[in-house]
Structure 1
């Protein structure tokens, strides 16, 4: 499905009268006629149409590929983490949040204040908007970037759907705890992140265990390894290997201190003093926001699968709506 964009000249042509303007008809008169034209029934009706479903964004969530070569000059110095190889499909599992206009303004204010406190330090780039000014979604990772081969795509997607039904993890909300800095596994980029509080149903830990179990079935690494002390914020991401099945984290392990929502990035690591100056930014208004999550996003290549969390209960007679 694709959107068709009509040019201004095409839309104006449908509305201008077929009678040729007289030589004494000034451009100002023509302009006035267009302004005073009453809206048609179809135009007034379109303003009351319901909003597009959230899944519509998934169709256009990936920008066009500029090059298959690693050219950091096209991406503000960023380097491709996973090389482009025919037959390999970069894959990522995550939770997605589209902030409202009011929430986006609060987030933009935090990014702006962070940049002000790093004036003589590393340059940061906002993750709230694209290069063209379009709003971007924020996400909490449930996997590190991994690679599936072509024949694994459908089997992995089917396994994830089955696991979500079996684990019966219900939708939940999170709130923001504070600001922090984390690096990617290769330590080529640093991210300014929001740390979430642990939700009441422990949904983040449960989803992490679900995803790690699914990844292990395909010989993929878990997001965080077993030796991590999550209370120190030093969460380490598992090494990637396709020759040995990695072990998933312990069933009762709390990795709440590892989860994060990235809002900006930098090619350089801030100093401890710079990190502290950013961490001292007042987040009282952001802490009032409840961020809802009711589905998992599974991105395989450029295809995004929306996997809803269950909202029904099972009785002896079958599924019953809440």
Structure 2
């Protein structure tokens, strides 16, 4: 019996030792698989954290798609910084509108939809944009009239200044980027493209009532541009791409 007891004791101790070693190994594996804080910070989402967007935190705006780990919100665009005079004109529009809304502070001309990019695609995707931009010359576009736009979900309506693309430079750029997007099976830009700078937004689909005042708004804009000719043109020297919270700038020739 004593021998049997010793065997049982040895067996029990051995199992516990193996279990302890397994837990230590598991702990090592977990530590090895934990992402560095720098990457988590750049991504903007800590590990194992579920992001729940509350529209009340974003002036009532609703995300077009759920935020998921490993997915990065991406947009290709032309950054636009208006003069103080033009920005003052934009703010003056608020007093003429039949709806309540907000002036947009960071202005741009979109060259892609808002996309969802996988983390492991980022390096090659950025390189693809870089190569495209290196072969493209700087160009100028003209601002013309005020138009109304609504997002696909009909949750927000925008007023934008239309960008005239006589030389088809914007169209050529979007076609190049569409070819790149196709390699990642991402959606191309809108077929009925209307390049513009959105400067005002409001909640809901307010196209009908805003369309009624487009004529006087355009007249006001044209008067302003006639008196400030330098504001009527946009010099495009680079293309930008925002992926997550990181912005890439690509200089044109």
Give yes or no for TM over 0.5: yes
- Preserved CA contact (<8 Å) 2:142 2:164: yes
SS at match of 2:91: helix
Structure 2 Cα separation of the partners of residues 105 and 195 of structure 1? 18
Q: Which residue of 2 aligns with 1:261?
A: 197
Cα displacement (A) at 1:273 = 4.8
Q: Which residue of 1 aligns with 2:125?
A: 156
TM-score, reference length from structure 2: 0.73
Task: After the TM superposition, list the runs of 4 or more consecutive aligned residues in structure 1 that deviate by more than 3 angstroms.
Answer: 271-274
Structure 1 Cα separation of the partners of residues 241 and 81 of structure 2? 16
1:190 has 2:154 as partner: no
Structure 2 Cα separation of the partners of residues 195 and 139 of structure 1? 12
Structure 1, unmatched stretches of 5+, are 1-61, 129-136, 226-234, 236-254, 311-322
Q: Which residue of 2 aligns with 1:176?
A: 143
- The Cα offsets for residues 232-291 of structure 1, whole Å up to 9 and x where unpaired, read as xxx3xxxxxxxxxxxxxxxxxxx4xx1111001111223535422243222121363211
CA distance 1:153–1:272, change in 2 (3 Å) = same
- Which structure exhibits the higher relative contact order, with contacts defined as CA atoms closer than 8 Å and separated by 6 or more residues? 2
Structure 2 Cα separation of the partners of residues 103 and 273 of structure 1? 24
Structure 1 Cα separation of the partners of residues 131 and 97 of structure 2? 47
Structure 2 Cα separation of the partners of residues 298 and 154 of structure 1? 13
- The Cα offsets for residues 16-50 of structure 1, whole Å up to 9 and x where unpaired, read as xxxxxxxxxxxxxxxxxxxxxxxxxxxxxxxxxxx
Counterparts of 1:21-40 in structure 2 under 5 Å? Answer: none
- Preserved CA contact (<8 Å) 1:169 1:203: no
SS at match of 1:175: strand
Find 1:291's aligned residue among 231, 234, 245.
234
TM-score, reference length from structure 1: 0.58
Query: In the comparison of the two structures, how many residue pairs are matched?
Result: 200
- Preserved CA contact (<8 Å) 2:164 2:195: no
Structure 2, unmatched stretches of 5+, are 1-41
Structure 2 Cα separation of the partners of residues 297 and 208 of structure 1? 13
Q: Which residue of 1 aligns with 2:89?
A: 106
Cα RMSD, aligned residues only:
2.1
Larger relative helix fraction? 2
- The Cα offsets for residues 57-77 of structure 1, whole Å up to 9 and x where unpaired, read as xxxxx9x88x93120011111
